[in-house]
Structure 1
Amino acid sequence: MDSWKQMMEWKKFADQYLGQNFFGPYQQPEQAQSEHRNEKEDVDFPAVNIYEAGNELLCIAAIPGLDKAEDVDVYVDDRSIHLKGKTHLVGGKYKPTREEFGSGAFNREVVLPYRVRSDAIGATYKKGFLYVKLLRVPEEQQKPRKVDIRRFDD
């Protein structure tokens, strides 16, 4: 039996057990994925870097196109930072041919490496970057606390 005929027999056998379209036309993984999703939705925007020094965290978010402070909301809980807002980038008479950062609404939540205090938060926007400074919850407050259970079978 020649190798081509063996391969076709093998394909027929595989199709029978794995499904008719198992050996459909080949696509690169990114091509197949981009056909089934809106690529802008899957991009993490804004990009965020987190730095630490001692008991401080500095979160820097790249957010070009904010016109005023009211265009972005920053929410911090004990373990994450949530950025929500809207950017305004206008090319004037130019129409976009490629947009890696676009205009419009964004919504991003970033998990922090440890718990932070909610009473000591500072935020500044400068030259397209949002800087959020946070303080770590003291070690003694991070430890699990034993809870006393009262008798409940009375």
Structure 2
Amino acid sequence: MDSWKQMMEWKKFADQYLGQNFFSPYQQQEDTQREQQQSQPQEERGFPAVNIYESENELLCIAAIPGLEKAEDVDVYVDDRSVHIKGKTNLIGGKYRIAKEEFGSGAFSREVELPYRVRSDAIHATYKKGFLYIKLYRLPADRQKPKKVDIRRFDD
């Protein structure tokens, strides 16, 4: 017997002996927590989920973004140490109402720090089957060193 079925049988048993609505205050609390989570902006819930894979000189960022209808619905910004993904998704349940929502619909924004500095001139991004793939390349070490700026005398 699986644990969910056991728990439901235990709940039925508890309701019989402790009162029909013994668990209803807990159910209301769970419903309130779910409503609060759903009202949070997606970026506060960590949307989209992002995995980062690295090799010696490359990074592959994969963001799970279901519901994009076209490429224009998402923007990717890369600076030397982070990727910022923002856009909007459109997931419509039709006549159904939301009972549980772990990934939402609407505007989102997420910034992810990268493990090392990357080049801004070589970035490749594709979207396929609900996933955004962003390939980045390590900034060569010689370009990471600070450059000394010559200051000319200005009191002459």
TM-score (norm 2): 0.69
Amino acid at match of 1:50: I
Equivalent pairs counted in the alignment come to: 120
Shift in Å at residue 118 of structure 1? 1.0
What per-residue deviation string (whole Å, max 9, x for no partner) do you get for residues 91-127 of structure 1?
1221111111110000111111111111101001111
Matches for 1:70-109 after TM superposition, within 5 Å: 70-109=72-111
Query: What is residue 137 of structure 1 aligned with on the other side?
Result: 139
Q: Distance in 2 between matches of 1:107 and 1:90?
A: 20
Aligned partners of 2:126, 2:154: CA distance in 1, in Å?
52
Aligned-pair CA distance for 1:48: 0.6
* 2-structure distance, mates of 1:91, 1:138: 47
SS of alignment partner, residue 143 of structure 2: helix
Higher Rg? 1
Long gaps (5+) in structure 2: 1-28
> How many Å apart are 1:149 and its aligned residue?
4.4
Deviates more, 1:118-127 or 1:144-153: 144-153
Identity rate of aligned residues, in percent? 75
> What is the match of residue 69 of structure 1?
71
| CA distance, structure 1, for counterparts of residue 112 and residue 120 of structure 2 | 16
C-alpha distance in structure 2 between counterparts of 1:98 and 1:61, whole Å: 21
Deviation track 1:14-62 (CA, whole Å, cap 9, x = no partner) reads xxxxxxxxxxxxxxxxx8xx98xx5333211101111111211100001
1:128 equivalent in structure 2: 130
TM-score (norm 1): 0.70
Runs (4+) of structure 1 exceeding 6 A deviation are: none
Distance 1:62 1:77 in 2: 21
CA distance in 2, matches of 1:53, 1:96: 40
| Other-structure match for 1:56 | 58
Q: Which structure's residues are more often helix, by fraction? A: 2
**What's the counterpart of residue 8 of structure 2?**
none
